[in-house]
Structure 1
């Protein structure tokens, strides 16, 4: 796995937020009653990979009952389980969410976002 951004270089997909601001936002966020934490792994290997990751994050944030709380740096990784060189490398990131959605609904929403970005599921691992 290769870090897409080198040590000390700013990752344009992550904006640092002071803890005091996070606390105020959390306290003011009354739209989520009794939220749970969820962690999702995101990846893209076609087209503009950064744009696709940002679009998926935006789509999650636009989902009622979901708030994106943190986004990891972006990493570039080799495809797994395929012939070397048969697919482009991936950009991957992890998002931490607060959500009131049940797990099955969050999974359904994640699949809908994948479909909106034209993900094709050829096989299951």
Structure 2
């Protein structure tokens, strides 16, 4: 096991711990589950939660519908505030563009219906089908 002092040096850090320190996941257990479930890849390879990441490693992270591609820029010593955490990684321009496109598609998509239609909505739908 490594202690807090050795976690801050440039040798590396466990992937699950790094993801939690970098605030890409709310809890370390969520980060561990994501890595074990194959939602996190390091340099294109599926890895285990105990995998050590180093500076300049490329991570592919899938969270819900969002796919991130980040490059490790540093090894955090602790789970600090978000501005401090963002200094330890850099999102690739391709990843930023893809997220913007996904956000725009979601914005333009029709809202999901709120359950089963009521009597009035059923009549409108029936009239539309009849032409």
Please say whether Structure 1 and Structure 2 have the same fold, judged by a TM-score greater than 0.5: no
Q: What TM-score do you get using the length of structure 1 for normalisation?
A: 0.26
**Structure number with larger C-alpha Rg:** 2
Higher helix share: 2
Higher strand share: 1
